Amino acid sequence: MAKKVLFIVGSLRKDSFNRQLAKMAEAHIGNRAEVTYLDYQDVPWMNQDIEFPAPEAVIRLRQTVAAADGIWIFTPEYNFSYPGHLKNLLDWLSRPLKAGDYATPTVINGKKVALSGAGGKMATGKSREKLSELLTFLQADLMTEPQTGIVLNVEAWTEGRMILTDEQKQALEQQADKFVEWV
């Protein structure tokens, strides 16, 4: 049975650089795993007033994450951190499934997670660093090495298309190989 890998793109933009990066990783993975993308645009902001019963979008989100053997997050860096909507998604995944049940593991607990990102001159280093802290706190099983950070080239910023150097392609392919093997 093929491993199920769930890609979470931290940018909601349809043709975002991180979605382009995810597509490159998916192409390299090929048939070694079944790759799906999480659509979480309809997930409401975390709010304890609506937590129980969970909104339909949150139920779907949790079922999708639970069915995955591993998660690979591709995220930009917004002001030295990760996007707020990605944090909101992780907040919902960190909450108990039943009111008052803090003994049962959450959906993200123990889930194998990899991180990558494409962005400015910091190569999403701060975003990935802070996500690593958060995911470790949430007790996800984080693949700390390798991580792929891409500094976007001029064409990306001026033409909206990302062109990776041979070194960047190799780094992404190495991470994909390690992640599929690890999952």
Q: Which residues of 149-159 are buried (b: 16+ CB within 10 A; e: fewer)?
A: bbebeeebeee
**Closest to 42 measured CA to CA, from 29, 25, 61:** 61
Q: What is the dihedral of CA 40, 44, 50, 52, to 10 degrees?
A: 0
pLDDT value of position 106 = 94
Domains of the chain, start order: 3-182 (3.40.50.360)
Going residue by residue through the chain (183 aa), what tens digit of pLDDT does each one get? 789 999 999 999 988 999 999 999 999 999 999 999 999 999 999 999 999 999 999 999 999 999 999 999 999 999 999 999 999 999 999 999 999 898 889 999 999 999 999 999 999 999 999 999 999 999 999 999 999 999 998 888 888 888 899 999 999 999 999 999 999
pLDDT value of position 154 = 80
pLDDT value of position 160 = 82
Burial of 2 (0-12, 13-18, 19+ CB in 10 A): exposed
pLDDT value of position 161 = 83
pLDDT value of position 60 = 97
Please work out, in degrees rounded to the nearest 5, the angle formed at the alpha carbon of residue 87 by the alpha carbons of 85 and 57: 60
Q: Which residues lie below 8 Å from residue 47, measured CB to CB, with a gap of 6+? A: none
pLDDT value of position 157 = 82
